[in-house]
């Protein structure tokens, strides 16, 4: 039987893979929890010893120390319960669509792509960054881009979408999350976006304060079908995964 990786040696010694126990996962709460049982078990004896054997001064110090230890253990239990109460990983989705009009350039992912069309929008119309913004806000259950930057507000006219994404990221960070990765799809019949993929990926990674390897960018045409295929609209979808940043 061919077995790859670290199991090879154990298989050669005649141990079936099914008999090999899975490695124990170490997390930070194991050590304080390991103190609970022995601490509780010795607690009555320790208190009896403190009351009966020691001088009043030593007794006071030891009782204070024991109460401190008991408080630390109780805090660790509470912290562990809070950490495990909600899932640490959070997923969110964002989708956006803009009509197109004549006259470029096309703003995509914070990059100006040379084109003979541009998005119709109250802001700068960066459909990709709007989808990313909604995805990270949605993953943290913090609303959406329309709530943060309503198009009824004149202050948001022609607003830079990079600025909006950065503001959403600050909210996400303040809520205790960090970006694990995002994956995006741009739907545009034209122009061909593959020459700009790397530039868009680096720009978004820069704004999100992550490595470019954490940003997936894919571009598809509308196959000449629907509003995208007729070059009437451009669309983008983004999925974001967040990780709780408290360990």
Give the E-state strand segments of 38-175 in sequence order: 89-102, 106-108, 111-113, 117-119
Choice between 50 and 118, CB closer to Zn ion: 118
Residue 39 CB, nearest approach to Zn ion (Å): 56
Tokens representing residue 82 in the block: 């809070």
Choice between 50 and 96, CB closer to Zn ion: 96
Q: Which residue is nearest to Zn ion (CB)?
A: 130
Q: What is the DSSP letter of 17?
A: G
Residue 182 CB, nearest approach to Zn ion (Å): 16
Residue 233 CB, nearest approach to Zn ion (Å): 11
Choice between 130 and 203, CB closer to Zn ion: 130
| Partners of 186 in the β-ladder | 219, 236
CA distance 98 to 126: 9
CA distance 234 to 21: 52
| Partners of 98 in the β-ladder | 234
Residue 160 CB, nearest approach to Zn ion (Å): 13
Note the residues at the interface with Zn ion (CB under 5 A): 96, 130
CA distance 128 to 161: 9
Residue 203 CB, nearest approach to Zn ion (Å): 17
CA distance 76 to 74: 5
Choice between 96 and 113, CB closer to Zn ion: 96
């Amino acid at each position: 039987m061919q077995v790859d990786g670290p199991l090879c040696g154990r298989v050669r010694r005649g141990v079936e893979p099914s008999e090999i126990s899975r490695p124990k996962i170490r997390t930070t709460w194991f050590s304080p929890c390991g103190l609970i049982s022995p601490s509780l078990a010795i607690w009555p004896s320790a208190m009896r010893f403190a009351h009966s054997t020691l001088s009043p001064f030593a007794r006071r110090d030891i009782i204070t120390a024991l109460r401190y230890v008991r408080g630390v253990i109780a805090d660790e239990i509470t912290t562990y319960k809070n950490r495990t109460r909600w899932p640490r990983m959070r997923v969110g989705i964002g989708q956006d669509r803009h009509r197109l009009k004549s006259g470029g350039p096309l703003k995509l992912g914070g990059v100006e792509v040379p084109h003979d069309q541009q998005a119709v929008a109250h802001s700068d119309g960066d459909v990709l960054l709007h989808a990313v913004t909604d995805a990270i806000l949605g993953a943290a259950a913090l609303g959406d881009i329309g709530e943060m930057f309503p198009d009824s507000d004149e202050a948001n006219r022609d607003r830079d979408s990079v600025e909006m994404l950065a503001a959403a990221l600050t909210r996400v960070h303040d809520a205790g999350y960090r970006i694990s990765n995002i994956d995006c799809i741009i739907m545009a019949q034209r122009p061909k976006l593959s020459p700009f993929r790397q530039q868009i990926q680096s720009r978004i990674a820069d704004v999100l304060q992550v490595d470019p390897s954490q940003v997936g960018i894919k571009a598809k045409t509308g196959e000449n079908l629907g509003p995208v295929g007729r070059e009437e609209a451009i669309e983008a979808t983004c999925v974001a995964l967040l990780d709780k940043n408290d360990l």
